[in-house]
Amino acid sequence: MRKSIFIILAAILIVAPPVSGEEAAEPAAMNPTEEQDNLFAARKWHGGPYFLAGIGPSETVSITNKIATWSYAGCHLFLNLGYWAFDAFGIELGGFINYSYFEDLTVYDYTGLLPVIFGMNKITGIDTHLWDSSFYLSTIVRLPFVNRTDLFNPILRILVGYGISVYWIKHIPASVALQLSTAGYSAKLYWLNLLPDAGWSRRDRFQSDGPVFGFSIGNIFNAFNGREVWYLQLTVLAKMYREVIAVKDGLVLPTKIANFDNIHNNHIVQLHLTAGIRFF
Amino acid sequence: MNRILAITILLSVLLPGAVWSMEPQAGQAAVQTREAAPDNQAAAAENGKGKRTAYRHVVRHDIGVGERFLNLGIVYIGQWAYYLIVQRDTIMEVGSFKNWYTNMYQPHFDLDSYFYNIVMHSLAGMSYYLFYRSRGYSKLGAFLWGFVSQLLFEFTIETITEKPSFQDLFQTPMLGTLLGITIEYISNALLGTNCKAAHVLGYILNPFALLPFSSYEVISSPRVTTTGVGYSFAIRF
Protein backbone atom coordinates (compact mmCIF):
# COMPACT_ATOMS: atom_id res chain seq x y z
CA MET A 1 0.00 0.00 0.00
CA ARG A 2 2.81 2.36 0.91
CA LYS A 3 4.45 1.50 -2.40
CA SER A 4 1.31 2.46 -4.33
CA ILE A 5 0.95 5.71 -2.44
CA PHE A 6 4.57 6.44 -3.14
CA ILE A 7 4.08 5.82 -6.87
CA ILE A 8 1.07 8.12 -7.02
CA LEU A 9 2.72 10.87 -5.02
CA ALA A 10 5.85 10.60 -7.12
CA ALA A 11 3.81 10.93 -10.30
CA ILE A 12 1.99 13.99 -8.98
CA LEU A 13 5.23 15.60 -7.88
CA ILE A 14 6.78 14.90 -11.25
CA VAL A 15 3.80 16.29 -13.10
CA ALA A 16 2.94 19.23 -10.89
CA PRO A 17 6.06 21.41 -11.20
CA PRO A 18 6.28 21.61 -14.99
CA VAL A 19 2.60 22.21 -15.53
CA SER A 20 2.35 24.68 -12.71
CA GLY A 21 4.37 26.97 -14.90
CA GLU A 22 3.71 26.24 -18.54
CA GLU A 23 6.94 27.89 -19.51
CA ALA A 24 8.84 25.17 -17.71
CA ALA A 25 7.09 22.46 -19.67
CA GLU A 26 7.33 24.17 -23.01
CA PRO A 27 10.06 26.76 -22.82
CA ALA A 28 9.60 29.52 -25.30
CA ALA A 29 13.16 29.16 -26.44
CA MET A 30 12.47 25.61 -27.46
CA ASN A 31 9.17 26.46 -29.07
CA PRO A 32 9.77 29.01 -31.73
CA THR A 33 6.15 28.78 -32.79
CA GLU A 34 4.24 29.13 -29.56
CA GLU A 35 0.90 29.35 -31.28
CA GLN A 36 1.34 25.74 -32.34
CA ASP A 37 -0.58 24.67 -29.24
CA ASN A 38 -3.74 25.59 -31.05
CA LEU A 39 -2.92 23.57 -34.12
CA PHE A 40 -3.78 19.99 -34.82
CA ALA A 41 -0.20 19.08 -35.56
CA ALA A 42 3.01 20.63 -34.29
CA ARG A 43 5.09 22.70 -36.65
CA LYS A 44 8.82 22.40 -36.84
CA TRP A 45 10.77 19.97 -34.71
CA HIS A 46 11.81 21.41 -31.38
CA GLY A 47 13.29 20.24 -28.13
CA GLY A 48 11.40 19.08 -25.09
CA PRO A 49 8.42 16.74 -24.87
CA TYR A 50 6.70 15.47 -27.97
CA PHE A 51 3.83 13.18 -28.84
CA LEU A 52 3.82 11.16 -32.04
CA ALA A 53 1.04 9.00 -33.38
CA GLY A 54 0.56 7.17 -36.62
CA ILE A 55 -1.11 4.32 -38.40
CA GLY A 56 -0.25 1.90 -41.12
CA PRO A 57 -0.24 -1.66 -42.41
CA SER A 58 1.55 -4.44 -40.64
CA GLU A 59 2.61 -7.98 -41.27
CA THR A 60 2.86 -10.58 -38.55
CA VAL A 61 4.78 -13.80 -38.78
CA SER A 62 4.07 -16.45 -36.22
CA ILE A 63 7.04 -18.72 -35.79
CA THR A 64 7.06 -21.99 -33.90
CA ASN A 65 9.40 -24.94 -33.89
CA LYS A 66 7.25 -26.48 -36.60
CA ILE A 67 6.09 -23.78 -38.93
CA ALA A 68 6.07 -20.10 -39.79
CA THR A 69 2.72 -18.57 -40.66
CA TRP A 70 2.27 -15.18 -42.28
CA SER A 71 -0.78 -13.14 -41.46
CA TYR A 72 -3.29 -12.44 -44.18
CA ALA A 73 -3.64 -8.77 -43.31
CA GLY A 74 -2.94 -6.40 -40.51
CA CYS A 75 -2.90 -2.81 -39.37
CA HIS A 76 -1.60 -0.95 -36.37
CA LEU A 77 -1.70 2.21 -34.33
CA PHE A 78 1.54 3.76 -33.15
CA LEU A 79 1.75 5.95 -30.03
CA ASN A 80 4.88 7.57 -28.74
CA LEU A 81 5.65 10.08 -26.02
CA GLY A 82 9.22 11.31 -25.85
CA TYR A 83 11.63 13.97 -24.79
CA TRP A 84 14.06 15.35 -27.34
CA ALA A 85 17.23 16.63 -25.76
CA PHE A 86 20.31 18.51 -26.92
CA ASP A 87 19.11 18.37 -30.51
CA ALA A 88 20.64 14.93 -30.59
CA PHE A 89 18.51 12.14 -29.18
CA GLY A 90 15.19 11.36 -27.54
CA ILE A 91 14.04 9.10 -24.73
CA GLU A 92 10.63 7.62 -25.40
CA LEU A 93 7.76 5.63 -23.99
CA GLY A 94 5.47 4.18 -26.58
CA GLY A 95 3.48 1.36 -27.96
CA PHE A 96 2.11 -0.44 -30.98
CA ILE A 97 -1.46 -1.66 -30.96
CA ASN A 98 -1.83 -4.15 -33.74
CA TYR A 99 -4.50 -6.25 -35.35
CA SER A 100 -3.74 -9.15 -37.66
CA TYR A 101 -5.86 -11.76 -39.32
CA PHE A 102 -4.63 -15.26 -39.93
CA GLU A 103 -6.42 -17.25 -42.57
CA ASP A 104 -6.07 -21.00 -42.66
CA LEU A 105 -3.68 -21.14 -39.80
CA THR A 106 -1.99 -24.48 -39.57
CA VAL A 107 -1.32 -26.04 -36.21
CA TYR A 108 1.03 -28.95 -36.05
CA ASP A 109 1.35 -31.53 -33.36
CA TYR A 110 -1.86 -30.60 -31.68
CA THR A 111 -1.85 -33.63 -29.48
CA GLY A 112 1.72 -33.14 -28.40
CA LEU A 113 2.07 -36.93 -28.39
CA LEU A 114 1.84 -38.28 -31.92
CA PRO A 115 4.48 -37.76 -34.61
CA VAL A 116 3.74 -35.32 -37.41
CA ILE A 117 4.00 -37.48 -40.51
CA PHE A 118 2.06 -37.67 -43.75
CA GLY A 119 -0.10 -34.75 -42.75
CA MET A 120 -1.36 -36.45 -39.66
CA ASN A 121 -1.55 -34.78 -36.32
CA LYS A 122 -2.03 -31.49 -38.07
CA ILE A 123 -4.94 -29.11 -38.17
CA THR A 124 -5.51 -26.58 -40.90
CA GLY A 125 -8.20 -24.09 -41.74
CA ILE A 126 -8.44 -22.28 -38.45
CA ASP A 127 -9.12 -18.59 -39.07
CA THR A 128 -7.82 -16.47 -36.25
CA HIS A 129 -7.86 -12.87 -35.11
CA LEU A 130 -4.82 -11.51 -33.34
CA TRP A 131 -4.85 -8.35 -31.25
CA ASP A 132 -1.61 -7.40 -29.64
CA SER A 133 -0.02 -4.53 -27.81
CA SER A 134 3.66 -3.82 -27.44
CA PHE A 135 4.80 -1.32 -24.85
CA TYR A 136 8.35 -0.13 -24.96
CA LEU A 137 11.03 2.23 -23.77
CA SER A 138 13.24 3.47 -26.53
CA THR A 139 15.88 5.87 -27.57
CA ILE A 140 15.78 7.67 -30.89
CA VAL A 141 18.71 9.29 -32.65
CA ARG A 142 19.23 11.07 -35.92
CA LEU A 143 21.38 9.06 -38.24
CA PRO A 144 24.85 10.54 -38.24
CA PHE A 145 26.97 11.44 -41.23
CA VAL A 146 24.11 12.57 -43.43
CA ASN A 147 23.22 15.97 -44.77
CA ARG A 148 19.86 16.65 -43.18
CA THR A 149 17.23 18.61 -45.04
CA ASP A 150 13.52 19.16 -44.64
CA LEU A 151 12.89 16.10 -46.77
CA PHE A 152 15.73 13.91 -45.59
CA ASN A 153 16.11 13.58 -41.85
CA PRO A 154 16.56 9.88 -41.09
CA ILE A 155 16.19 8.51 -37.59
CA LEU A 156 16.88 5.26 -35.80
CA ARG A 157 14.98 3.98 -32.78
CA ILE A 158 16.03 1.07 -30.57
CA LEU A 159 13.33 -0.26 -28.32
CA VAL A 160 12.78 -2.83 -25.64
CA GLY A 161 9.58 -3.60 -23.77
CA TYR A 162 6.83 -6.05 -23.12
CA GLY A 163 4.05 -7.35 -25.31
CA ILE A 164 0.63 -8.91 -24.94
CA SER A 165 -1.00 -10.91 -27.70
CA VAL A 166 -4.57 -12.07 -27.71
CA TYR A 167 -5.91 -14.66 -30.11
CA TRP A 168 -9.49 -15.30 -30.99
CA ILE A 169 -10.39 -18.30 -33.07
CA LYS A 170 -12.82 -17.07 -35.63
CA HIS A 171 -13.71 -20.27 -37.33
CA ILE A 172 -12.99 -23.94 -36.95
CA PRO A 173 -14.24 -26.21 -39.71
CA ALA A 174 -16.63 -28.96 -38.70
CA SER A 175 -14.15 -31.56 -39.86
CA VAL A 176 -11.56 -30.17 -37.48
CA ALA A 177 -14.04 -30.17 -34.64
CA LEU A 178 -14.80 -33.81 -35.41
CA GLN A 179 -11.11 -34.58 -35.57
CA LEU A 180 -10.65 -33.05 -32.14
CA SER A 181 -13.60 -34.84 -30.73
CA THR A 182 -12.41 -38.15 -32.10
CA ALA A 183 -8.98 -37.57 -30.68
CA GLY A 184 -10.51 -37.03 -27.28
CA TYR A 185 -8.96 -33.62 -27.12
CA SER A 186 -9.73 -31.86 -23.92
CA ALA A 187 -6.88 -30.42 -22.02
CA LYS A 188 -3.66 -30.82 -23.94
CA LEU A 189 -3.00 -27.25 -24.74
CA TYR A 190 -0.19 -25.58 -26.55
CA TRP A 191 0.05 -22.29 -28.30
CA LEU A 192 -2.81 -22.34 -30.75
CA ASN A 193 -3.24 -25.95 -29.98
CA LEU A 194 -5.46 -24.60 -27.30
CA LEU A 195 -8.70 -25.43 -28.98
CA PRO A 196 -12.19 -25.15 -27.72
CA ASP A 197 -13.79 -27.75 -25.61
CA ALA A 198 -17.25 -27.70 -24.16
CA GLY A 199 -18.38 -24.30 -23.04
CA TRP A 200 -15.94 -22.38 -25.20
CA SER A 201 -17.50 -19.21 -26.56
CA ARG A 202 -16.51 -16.92 -29.38
CA ARG A 203 -15.37 -14.28 -26.92
CA ASP A 204 -13.03 -16.59 -25.05
CA ARG A 205 -9.44 -16.22 -26.05
CA PHE A 206 -5.81 -17.06 -25.54
CA GLN A 207 -3.29 -14.58 -24.32
CA SER A 208 0.47 -14.73 -24.60
CA ASP A 209 2.90 -12.28 -23.17
CA GLY A 210 6.61 -11.74 -23.08
CA PRO A 211 9.44 -9.33 -23.79
CA VAL A 212 9.63 -7.31 -26.97
CA PHE A 213 12.70 -6.11 -28.83
CA GLY A 214 12.91 -4.07 -31.97
CA PHE A 215 14.06 -1.12 -33.95
CA SER A 216 12.67 1.51 -36.29
CA ILE A 217 14.21 3.35 -39.16
CA GLY A 218 12.41 6.26 -40.66
CA ASN A 219 12.42 9.76 -41.94
CA ILE A 220 11.00 12.90 -40.35
CA PHE A 221 9.70 15.48 -42.76
CA ASN A 222 9.51 19.23 -42.20
CA ALA A 223 11.65 19.07 -39.10
CA PHE A 224 13.42 22.31 -39.91
CA ASN A 225 10.81 24.49 -41.57
CA GLY A 226 7.52 25.88 -40.34
CA ARG A 227 5.23 23.20 -41.72
CA GLU A 228 3.51 20.31 -39.98
CA VAL A 229 5.94 17.61 -38.93
CA TRP A 230 5.20 14.14 -40.25
CA TYR A 231 7.14 10.95 -40.63
CA LEU A 232 7.39 7.56 -42.22
CA GLN A 233 8.99 4.68 -40.43
CA LEU A 234 9.51 0.95 -40.69
CA THR A 235 9.61 -0.99 -37.44
CA VAL A 236 10.64 -4.56 -36.80
CA LEU A 237 9.47 -6.14 -33.57
CA ALA A 238 10.30 -9.53 -32.12
CA LYS A 239 8.04 -10.84 -29.38
CA MET A 240 9.34 -13.64 -27.26
CA TYR A 241 6.41 -15.33 -25.60
CA ARG A 242 6.80 -17.03 -22.28
CA GLU A 243 3.45 -18.64 -21.70
CA VAL A 244 -0.07 -19.09 -22.96
CA ILE A 245 -3.10 -18.21 -20.88
CA ALA A 246 -6.58 -19.46 -21.63
CA VAL A 247 -9.03 -16.69 -20.81
CA LYS A 248 -12.71 -17.11 -20.20
CA ASP A 249 -14.53 -13.92 -20.95
CA GLY A 250 -16.64 -12.36 -18.23
CA LEU A 251 -18.97 -9.44 -18.23
CA VAL A 252 -16.33 -7.15 -16.77
CA LEU A 253 -13.76 -9.43 -15.25
CA PRO A 254 -12.30 -12.22 -17.38
CA THR A 255 -10.89 -15.25 -15.65
CA LYS A 256 -7.78 -17.27 -16.25
CA ILE A 257 -8.78 -20.89 -16.68
CA ALA A 258 -5.35 -22.30 -17.44
CA ASN A 259 -1.87 -21.30 -18.37
CA PHE A 260 0.82 -23.26 -20.14
CA ASP A 261 4.45 -23.04 -20.98
CA ASN A 262 5.35 -21.98 -24.47
CA ILE A 263 6.67 -25.41 -25.27
CA HIS A 264 6.45 -24.94 -29.01
CA ASN A 265 8.67 -21.94 -28.67
CA ASN A 266 6.18 -19.71 -30.37
CA HIS A 267 7.32 -16.20 -31.19
CA ILE A 268 6.11 -13.39 -33.34
CA VAL A 269 7.95 -11.09 -35.68
CA GLN A 270 6.12 -8.03 -36.87
CA LEU A 271 6.78 -5.45 -39.53
CA HIS A 272 5.05 -2.09 -39.14
CA LEU A 273 5.03 0.59 -41.80
CA THR A 274 3.85 3.75 -40.07
CA ALA A 275 2.86 7.16 -41.33
CA GLY A 276 2.10 9.73 -38.70
CA ILE A 277 2.38 13.23 -37.41
CA ARG A 278 3.68 15.04 -34.40
CA PHE A 279 0.69 16.18 -32.35
CA PHE A 280 2.71 18.26 -29.92
CA MET B 1 -26.79 49.72 -28.61
CA ASN B 2 -29.79 47.43 -28.56
CA ARG B 3 -28.42 45.69 -31.59
CA ILE B 4 -25.11 45.03 -29.87
CA LEU B 5 -26.95 43.85 -26.76
CA ALA B 6 -29.07 41.50 -28.84
CA ILE B 7 -26.03 40.06 -30.56
CA THR B 8 -24.31 39.64 -27.23
CA ILE B 9 -27.30 37.80 -25.78
CA LEU B 10 -27.49 35.59 -28.86
CA LEU B 11 -23.81 34.74 -28.62
CA SER B 12 -24.18 34.16 -24.90
CA VAL B 13 -26.77 31.50 -25.60
CA LEU B 14 -24.75 29.91 -28.35
CA LEU B 15 -21.42 30.21 -26.58
CA PRO B 16 -21.84 29.82 -22.86
CA GLY B 17 -18.25 28.66 -22.50
CA ALA B 18 -17.00 31.65 -24.41
CA VAL B 19 -18.99 34.09 -22.34
CA TRP B 20 -17.49 32.85 -19.13
CA SER B 21 -14.00 32.54 -20.49
CA MET B 22 -14.02 36.09 -21.77
CA GLU B 23 -13.89 37.26 -18.19
CA PRO B 24 -10.66 39.20 -17.75
CA GLN B 25 -7.81 36.94 -16.73
CA ALA B 26 -4.26 37.92 -16.01
CA GLY B 27 -1.95 37.38 -18.93
CA GLN B 28 -4.68 36.31 -21.28
CA ALA B 29 -4.62 39.38 -23.45
CA ALA B 30 -1.16 38.54 -24.67
CA VAL B 31 -2.19 35.00 -25.46
CA GLN B 32 -5.17 36.17 -27.41
CA THR B 33 -3.03 38.58 -29.36
CA ARG B 34 -0.57 35.90 -30.24
CA GLU B 35 -3.20 33.41 -31.28
CA ALA B 36 -5.23 35.84 -33.24
CA ALA B 37 -6.98 34.89 -36.43
CA PRO B 38 -7.00 37.07 -39.53
CA ASP B 39 -10.68 37.72 -39.19
CA ASN B 40 -12.51 38.21 -35.93
CA GLN B 41 -15.76 38.09 -34.11
CA ALA B 42 -16.06 41.80 -33.43
CA ALA B 43 -15.67 42.57 -37.09
CA ALA B 44 -18.35 40.06 -37.82
CA ALA B 45 -20.58 41.56 -35.17
CA GLU B 46 -20.33 44.85 -36.99
CA ASN B 47 -22.26 43.49 -39.93
CA GLY B 48 -24.87 42.09 -37.59
CA LYS B 49 -24.56 38.45 -38.57
CA GLY B 50 -22.87 37.20 -35.42
CA LYS B 51 -20.48 35.26 -37.60
CA ARG B 52 -17.83 33.16 -35.93
CA THR B 53 -14.49 33.19 -37.58
CA ALA B 54 -12.25 31.31 -35.18
CA TYR B 55 -13.05 29.16 -32.18
CA ARG B 56 -9.98 28.07 -30.35
CA HIS B 57 -8.53 26.85 -27.15
CA VAL B 58 -6.57 29.30 -25.08
CA VAL B 59 -3.82 28.03 -22.81
CA ARG B 60 -3.99 29.66 -19.42
CA HIS B 61 -0.68 30.55 -17.86
CA ASP B 62 -2.09 31.51 -14.51
CA ILE B 63 -3.40 28.21 -13.20
CA GLY B 64 -2.33 27.90 -9.60
CA VAL B 65 -1.39 24.75 -7.74
CA GLY B 66 -4.63 24.90 -5.77
CA GLU B 67 -6.72 25.08 -8.91
CA ARG B 68 -4.83 22.18 -10.43
CA PHE B 69 -5.55 19.98 -7.44
CA LEU B 70 -9.15 21.17 -7.44
CA ASN B 71 -9.43 20.01 -11.06
CA LEU B 72 -7.79 16.73 -10.14
CA GLY B 73 -10.30 16.35 -7.31
CA ILE B 74 -13.23 17.02 -9.63
CA VAL B 75 -12.06 14.28 -11.96
CA TYR B 76 -11.45 11.96 -9.03
CA ILE B 77 -14.97 12.45 -7.71
CA GLY B 78 -16.30 11.85 -11.20
CA GLN B 79 -14.29 8.64 -11.44
CA TRP B 80 -15.71 7.35 -8.15
CA ALA B 81 -19.23 8.23 -9.22
CA TYR B 82 -18.82 6.54 -12.61
CA TYR B 83 -17.23 3.46 -11.09
CA LEU B 84 -19.85 3.00 -8.39
CA ILE B 85 -22.68 3.40 -10.84
CA VAL B 86 -21.41 1.49 -13.87
CA GLN B 87 -19.68 -1.36 -12.06
CA ARG B 88 -22.19 -1.72 -9.28
CA ASP B 89 -22.95 -5.35 -10.06
CA THR B 90 -19.28 -6.30 -10.26
CA ILE B 91 -18.57 -4.52 -6.98
CA MET B 92 -21.41 -6.36 -5.30
CA GLU B 93 -20.16 -9.64 -6.73
CA VAL B 94 -16.40 -9.57 -6.18
CA GLY B 95 -15.58 -6.25 -4.53
CA SER B 96 -14.31 -5.92 -0.99
CA PHE B 97 -12.48 -3.52 1.25
CA LYS B 98 -9.68 -6.06 1.55
CA ASN B 99 -9.31 -6.04 -2.23
CA TRP B 100 -9.14 -2.29 -2.15
CA TYR B 101 -5.99 -2.15 -0.09
CA THR B 102 -4.32 -5.42 -1.11
CA ASN B 103 -4.69 -5.00 -4.87
CA MET B 104 -2.98 -1.62 -4.75
CA TYR B 105 0.50 -3.07 -4.79
CA GLN B 106 -0.11 -5.88 -7.26
CA PRO B 107 -0.15 -4.22 -10.68
CA HIS B 108 -0.15 -6.68 -13.56
CA PHE B 109 -0.91 -7.13 -17.25
CA ASP B 110 -4.64 -7.67 -17.33
CA LEU B 111 -6.67 -10.18 -19.31
CA ASP B 112 -9.37 -7.76 -20.37
CA SER B 113 -10.87 -7.77 -23.82
CA TYR B 114 -9.84 -5.17 -26.34
CA PHE B 115 -13.23 -3.58 -26.11
CA TYR B 116 -12.39 -2.46 -22.60
CA ASN B 117 -8.69 -1.91 -23.09
CA ILE B 118 -8.93 0.01 -26.32
CA VAL B 119 -12.41 1.45 -26.69
CA MET B 120 -13.59 2.16 -23.15
CA HIS B 121 -10.28 3.35 -21.80
CA SER B 122 -9.75 5.56 -24.84
CA LEU B 123 -13.04 7.25 -24.16
CA ALA B 124 -12.13 7.67 -20.49
CA GLY B 125 -8.76 9.12 -21.42
CA MET B 126 -10.39 11.43 -23.93
CA SER B 127 -12.73 12.70 -21.22
CA TYR B 128 -9.81 13.44 -18.91
CA TYR B 129 -7.95 15.21 -21.69
CA LEU B 130 -10.87 17.36 -22.80
CA PHE B 131 -11.75 18.27 -19.22
CA TYR B 132 -8.25 19.46 -18.45
CA ARG B 133 -8.09 21.29 -21.76
CA SER B 134 -11.31 23.07 -20.94
CA ARG B 135 -9.63 24.24 -17.72
CA GLY B 136 -6.89 25.89 -19.77
CA TYR B 137 -4.12 23.27 -19.70
CA SER B 138 -1.68 22.87 -22.55
CA LYS B 139 -1.74 19.64 -24.52
CA LEU B 140 1.17 18.31 -22.52
CA GLY B 141 -0.40 19.43 -19.25
CA ALA B 142 -3.71 17.78 -20.12
CA PHE B 143 -1.89 14.58 -21.00
CA LEU B 144 0.15 14.52 -17.80
CA TRP B 145 -2.76 15.29 -15.52
CA GLY B 146 -4.85 12.74 -17.39
CA PHE B 147 -2.13 10.23 -16.62
CA VAL B 148 -2.25 11.18 -12.92
CA SER B 149 -6.02 10.80 -12.94
CA GLN B 150 -5.70 7.37 -14.48
CA LEU B 151 -3.06 6.47 -11.93
CA LEU B 152 -5.42 7.42 -9.13
CA PHE B 153 -8.23 5.45 -10.71
CA GLU B 154 -6.16 2.33 -11.15
CA PHE B 155 -4.54 2.40 -7.70
CA THR B 156 -7.21 3.82 -5.44
CA ILE B 157 -10.60 3.16 -7.03
CA GLU B 158 -10.67 0.14 -9.28
CA THR B 159 -8.71 -1.94 -6.79
CA ILE B 160 -12.00 -2.74 -5.12
CA THR B 161 -12.58 -5.26 -7.88
CA GLU B 162 -9.31 -5.76 -9.71
CA LYS B 163 -5.58 -5.17 -9.68
CA PRO B 164 -4.07 -2.13 -11.38
CA SER B 165 -3.36 -2.77 -15.04
CA PHE B 166 -0.23 -1.75 -16.90
CA GLN B 167 -2.12 -1.70 -20.19
CA ASP B 168 -4.68 0.70 -18.79
CA LEU B 169 -2.03 2.97 -17.34
CA PHE B 170 -0.42 3.26 -20.75
CA GLN B 171 -3.34 3.16 -23.12
CA THR B 172 -5.78 5.41 -21.30
CA PRO B 173 -3.75 8.62 -21.37
CA MET B 174 -2.02 7.85 -24.67
CA LEU B 175 -5.06 6.83 -26.67
CA GLY B 176 -7.17 9.35 -24.80
CA THR B 177 -4.85 12.17 -25.74
CA LEU B 178 -4.77 11.09 -29.36
CA LEU B 179 -8.54 10.88 -29.49
CA GLY B 180 -8.92 14.06 -27.46
CA ILE B 181 -6.71 16.12 -29.75
CA THR B 182 -8.62 14.87 -32.76
CA ILE B 183 -12.05 15.45 -31.24
CA GLU B 184 -11.05 18.88 -29.97
CA TYR B 185 -9.82 19.84 -33.41
CA ILE B 186 -13.03 18.71 -35.07
CA SER B 187 -15.19 20.32 -32.38
CA ASN B 188 -13.39 23.64 -32.65
CA ALA B 189 -13.70 23.55 -36.42
CA LEU B 190 -17.45 22.95 -36.11
CA LEU B 191 -17.87 25.67 -33.50
CA GLY B 192 -15.96 28.06 -35.70
CA THR B 193 -18.52 27.78 -38.46
CA ASN B 194 -21.68 29.80 -38.87
CA CYS B 195 -24.02 26.81 -38.74
CA LYS B 196 -26.14 26.06 -35.67
CA ALA B 197 -26.30 22.34 -36.41
CA ALA B 198 -22.52 22.29 -36.54
CA HIS B 199 -22.43 24.09 -33.19
CA VAL B 200 -24.66 21.46 -31.63
CA LEU B 201 -22.49 18.69 -32.99
CA GLY B 202 -19.39 20.52 -31.81
CA TYR B 203 -20.73 20.69 -28.26
CA ILE B 204 -21.79 17.06 -28.36
CA LEU B 205 -18.26 16.08 -29.34
CA ASN B 206 -16.71 18.27 -26.68
CA PRO B 207 -19.28 19.04 -23.98
CA PHE B 208 -16.56 20.41 -21.72
CA ALA B 209 -16.56 23.53 -23.88
CA LEU B 210 -19.88 24.31 -22.22
CA LEU B 211 -18.44 24.35 -18.71
CA PRO B 212 -18.24 27.67 -16.89
CA PHE B 213 -14.86 29.37 -17.29
CA SER B 214 -14.04 27.10 -20.20
CA SER B 215 -10.89 27.97 -22.10
CA TYR B 216 -12.60 27.70 -25.45
CA GLU B 217 -13.72 30.91 -26.99
CA VAL B 218 -14.24 33.06 -30.02
CA ILE B 219 -11.13 35.13 -30.07
CA SER B 220 -10.51 38.79 -30.62
CA SER B 221 -7.69 39.91 -32.82
CA PRO B 222 -5.69 42.75 -34.23
CA ARG B 223 -7.02 44.26 -37.44
CA VAL B 224 -4.93 45.41 -40.33
CA THR B 225 -6.84 46.97 -43.19
CA THR B 226 -6.06 49.27 -46.06
CA THR B 227 -7.30 52.20 -44.02
CA GLY B 228 -5.57 51.57 -40.72
CA VAL B 229 -4.34 49.33 -37.98
CA GLY B 230 -6.28 48.56 -34.81
CA TYR B 231 -7.41 45.99 -32.32
CA SER B 232 -10.90 44.56 -32.12
CA PHE B 233 -12.32 43.07 -29.01
CA ALA B 234 -15.64 42.44 -27.30
CA ILE B 235 -16.71 43.45 -23.82
CA ARG B 236 -19.59 41.51 -22.30
CA PHE B 237 -21.70 42.21 -19.25
Least confident piece of the model among A19-23, A53-57, B142-146: A19-23
pLDDT digits (tens, 9 = 90+) for A203-234: 677 788 899 999 999 999 998 888 889 999 99
Q: For A138-169, what is each residue's pLDDT tens digit?
A: 999 998 888 888 899 999 999 999 999 888 77
Residues of B whose CB is below 8 A from A253: 90, 94, 161-162
Q: How many residues does chain B have?
A: 237
Report the distance separating Cα B147 and Cα A11, nearest Å.
9
Kindly list the residues from chain A whose CB atom is less than 8 angstroms away from the CB atom of residue B34.
34-35
Can you name the residues that pair with A231 across neighbouring β-strands? A220, A276
The arithmetic mean of pLDDT across residues A240-269, rounded, is 75
**pLDDT: which is higher, A13 or B186:** B186
In this prediction, residue A183 carries a pLDDT of: 54
Distance CA B197, CA B200 (A): 5
Contact (Cβ atoms closer than 8 angstroms) between residue B180 and residue B149 = no
pLDDT of residue A248: 77
What is the C-alpha R_g of chain A? 23
pTM above 0.95?
Answer: no
- For chain B, give every domain's residue range: 66-184
Q: Do A20 and B65 touch (CB under 8 A)?
A: yes
CA B36 from centre of chain: 20
- β-pairing, A122-142 vs A68-70, is unpaired
Contact residues, B window 41-100, toward A, CB-based 8 Å cutoff: 56-57, 59, 61, 63-65, 68, 87, 89-90, 94
Please name the residue of chain A whose CA is at the shortest distance from the CA of residue B185. Answer: A40
Q: Residues B45, B7: contact at Cβ < 8 Å?
A: yes
The CA distance from A247 to A9, in Å, is 34
Phi, psi values for residue A12, rounded to 5°: -65, -40
What percentage of residues in chain B have a pLDDT greater than 90? 51
Residues B225-236 have pLDDT tens digits of 777 776 555 544
**B10 pLDDT more than 50:** no
pLDDT for B216 equals: 85
Question: pLDDT at position A54, please?
Answer: 97
A4 and B113 within 8 Å at the Cβ level: the answer is: no
How far does the CA of residue B12 sit from the closest CA of chain A (Å)?
23
Q: Do A141 and A89 form a contact (C-beta atoms < 8 A)?
A: yes
CA dist A45 and B222 (Å) reads 28
Among A3, A38, A79, A80, the residue to mutate for chain B (most B Cβ within 10 A): A38
Chain A partners within 8 Å of B216 (Cβ): none
Query: CB pairs below 8 Å between A and B: how many?
Result: 130
Chain B residues with CB-CB distance to A252 below 8 A = 87, 90, 116, 161
Which of A15, A95, A253 is facing B144, going by the closest CB pair? A15
Angle B183-A164-A162 (CA atoms, 0-180°, nearest 5)? 95
Contacts of A18 in chain B (CB under 8 A): 140-141, 144
Is the minimum CB–CB distance between B163 and chain A shorter than 8 Å?
A: no
The pLDDT value recorded for residue A175 is 66
Chain A residues with CB-CB distance to B56 below 8 A:
38
Q: Distance between CA B177 and CA A210 in Å, rounded?
A: 27
Nearest CA in chain A to B34: A35
Question: Under an 8 A CB cutoff, do B145 and A37 touch?
Answer: no
- Cβ-Cβ contacts under 8 Å, A25 against chain B: 138, 140-141
pLDDT at residue B195, as a whole number = 87
ipTM of model over 0.95: no
pLDDT given at position A32: 36
With a pLDDT cut of 70, the percent of chain A lying above it is 61
A252: Cα separation from own chain's centroid: 23
Residue B86: alpha-carbon gap to chain centroid: 22
> How far does the CA of residue A246 sit from the closest CA of chain B (Å)?
10
Answer whether A1 sits within 8 Å of B105, measured CB to CB. yes
Q: CB–CB of A25 and B138 under 8 A?
A: yes
- Of residues A19, A34, A93, nearest to B145 (C-beta): A19
pLDDT at B100: 93
DSSP one-letter code for A71? -
Integer CA distances (angstroms), A204 to A103, A142, B135, in order: 19, 44, 42
The answer to whether the CB of A109 falls within 8 A of the CB of A193 is yes
Q: Is the pLDDT of residue B184 over 80?
A: yes
- Cα angle value A251/B151/B212 (rounded, 5°): 95
Q: Contact A116/A122 with Cβ under 8 angstroms?
A: yes
pLDDT attached to residue A21: 36
Query: Which residue stretches of chain B are H helix?
Result: 2-14, 16-21, 28-34, 41-46, 65-86, 88-94, 97-102, 114, 121-134, 139-156, 166-191, 196-205
Q: What would you measure as the largest C-alpha separation in chain A, in angstroms?
A: 72
Instruction: Quote the CA–CA distance of A104 and A124 in Å, as a whole number.
Output: 6
Q: How does pLDDT run across B41-55, given as a tens digit for each residue? A: 444 444 444 456 678
Record: contact B155-A7, CB cut-off 8 A? yes
Is residue B28 predicted with pLDDT exceeding 50?
A: no
pLDDT for A138 equals 97
A89-145 confidence digits (pLDDT tens): 999 999 999 999 988 766 655 555 545 555 555 666 677 888 999 999 999 999 888
Q: What does the pLDDT read at residue A223?
A: 86
Residues of A in Cβ contact (< 8 Å) with B112: 254
